[in-house]
Structure formats: C-alpha cells, structure tokens
Amino acid sequence: MSETLDTEILVLMRRVSEQIILPRYQNLASEEIIEKAADDLVTIADREAEEALQVGLAAYDPNVVIVGEEAAHADPSVLNALSGDCWIIDPIDGTHNFAHGHAPFGILLARASGGLCQSGWIYDCLSGRFCAAHCGAGASVNGEKFLARTTGENPPVAAISALFLDDEERAMVHTHITPHYRLVDIPRCAAEQYPRLGLGENDISTFKRTLPWDHAAGVLWLNEAGGCAQRLDGSAYRVEDNSDGCKKPGLVGASSPKIWEEYAARALANPV
C-alpha cells in the first residue's frame, strides 16, 4: 500500500515540478515575486504549484482536508484542520532560494492524523531525489530502503540557524554551543536540510520556527531512517503545535540519537 502511494505521490510531485516550478526557475519577473512579510517571499510558482497539488491530492482522497502554506497565509482558519486528518503542502520549500535563482528548493508533502505525521515525502526539483517515509514502516530514498548515517567527523558538522533567535539566544549559542561543532551554512530549505542529516553530510540542524509545512515530512523521514528529530525538551513534534512557528521549544534534528542527546544536553545546561 505504501509503495503504491509513494509512486502516485512521486508522479504528482514530479509533474508539478516539471510543468509549473522549473519553467519559472531563473525566469521570474519582478512582479511575480511578492514579500508576504519581512524576508518571507512567495512567487507565482508557489501559488500555482499549491493549486495543482491540491487538485492532485483531492483526486486521490477527496475526504481529507488539505492544509497548504499559501492557503493558510490567506486564511489562518485553515490551520484548524491540523489536529485531524489532513494533507500538508509546501509547494516550494526554499522559496527564498528559488526566487533568487539558485538551489536548493523542493516540494514537501505530508499526511497527518491526530496531530502527528503519518506519511511524508520530500522531492528535490532539480535532482529528482525522492525521500519517503511512513510511520512505523521506515524511510526510503529513490524507492530504496534507507538508514541514516553520521558524517563520522569529530567535531560533528552542524547547521545551526540563527533565524528568528533573539540577541540573548544568539549569545548563548555562540558561547556554549558552536565551539563544539564544525559549522556549515544553513541551506534555507528544509527539503534539503533533513536529507543532509541522513545522508552523512550534516550531523545537527536547529530550527526556531517550526511551521508544519516545513517540518512534518522531514521530521518523520529522519526519525524513520534512524536519526532523531524532536523538540529540545524531548517531546515529539506535532503538526498542530505553535502554528505561528516560534512559541514551543526549538526543534533539533540529528544524524543519530546520540548526537541529538549531546546537543540537547549542552543547550539545556545553558538555558536562555
């Protein structure tokens, strides 16, 4: 059942990518890029891709409510569906990159029930890499079963995001966290950041804002692959949590449970 669903979802994501997203890559007019909020962009491709994904998912199962990033921005009441059975859509994850004409960017889809992600899919529009996961059934990359691996480096490799941190939080991270890791840039794209944690490229990624369309699929995929993604207090990520993005304890993803525990111990020993 899950393999059939993965195939159907892949066909949908690939079609939307090839017909709507990629034709506008490095080909957007200035009026086709809109700033929803400070440093938060949306493009005509985001909106058209979300509409196409909604149509495809509705045809697959018309009884399940759809929560799309752009629909929720236009009407926040859409978020009320996150506690029930729903599809979650991020039509272009990494819009900032896409709008500026560079990689990475991708599509994120998830199926959630009761506040927890049950299935998730991550599609890289440029490479075609397809990551899938189902709760209790493991993770895959391009149709092959997959287990997460660490970078093997000492110190571990960390992409620590300062986005949305206040000055006190930045100071704590700089003093007590970053000296223990080799730092790399964040890709500003969860559709890239979560795979990096499983593919032996990064060991730690941190997130302050944890909106469901950005994280539902990636959290499930990493956990099912044997890595670890959860709230800094050790609680599970729930898609209906803090829909404004920043009130709950931060979300940390790691290439292994051990590396996650080491990071959390450092952060909790130095609370802000």
Q: How buried is 135 (Cβ within 10 angstroms: 0-12 exposed, 13-18 middle, 19+ buried)? A: middle
Per CATH, is 2-146 categorized as 3.30.540.10? yes
In contact, 194 and 104? CB cutoff 8 Å: no
- Confidence (pLDDT) at 272: 59
Q: What is the pTM of this model?
A: 0.94
pLDDT digit string, tens, across residues 80-107:
999 999 999 999 999 999 999 999 999 9
- Confidence (pLDDT) at 69: 94
- Confidence (pLDDT) at 3: 81
- Confidence (pLDDT) at 170: 86
Q: Using pLDDT thresholds of 50, 70 and 90, give the confidence band for residue 62.
A: confident
**What CATH number should be reported for the domain whose range is 157-269?**
3.40.190.80
Average pLDDT over residues 177-201: 96
pLDDT digit string, tens, across residues 117-135:
999 999 999 999 999 999 9
pLDDT digit string, tens, across residues 2-41:
788 999 999 999 999 999 999 999 999 999 998 887 667 8
pLDDT digit string, tens, across residues 229-272:
999 989 999 999 855 555 667 899 999 999 999 999 999 887 75
- Confidence (pLDDT) at 162: 81
**DSSP β-bridge partners for residue 116:** 113
What sign does the CA torsion over 49, 54, 55, 57 have?
positive
- Confidence (pLDDT) at 183: 95
Whose tokens are 């004409």? That residue is: 101
- Confidence (pLDDT) at 35: 85
- Confidence (pLDDT) at 23: 97
CA angle 84–87–91, rounded 5-degree value: 145
Distance CA 174, CA 132 (A): 34
Average pLDDT over residues 138-166: 93
- Confidence (pLDDT) at 163: 78
Delimit the domains of the chain by residue range.
2-146, 157-269
Q: Are strands 157-160 and 182-183 parallel, antiparallel or unpaired?
A: parallel
pLDDT digit string, tens, across residues 194-204:
999 999 999 99
Q: Are strands 106-113 and 86-93 parallel, antiparallel or unpaired?
A: antiparallel
- Confidence (pLDDT) at 215: 97
In contact, 102 and 185? CB cutoff 8 Å: no
Q: What is the 3-state secondary structure (H, E, C) of 135-149?
A: CCCEEEECCEEECCE
- Confidence (pLDDT) at 242: 59
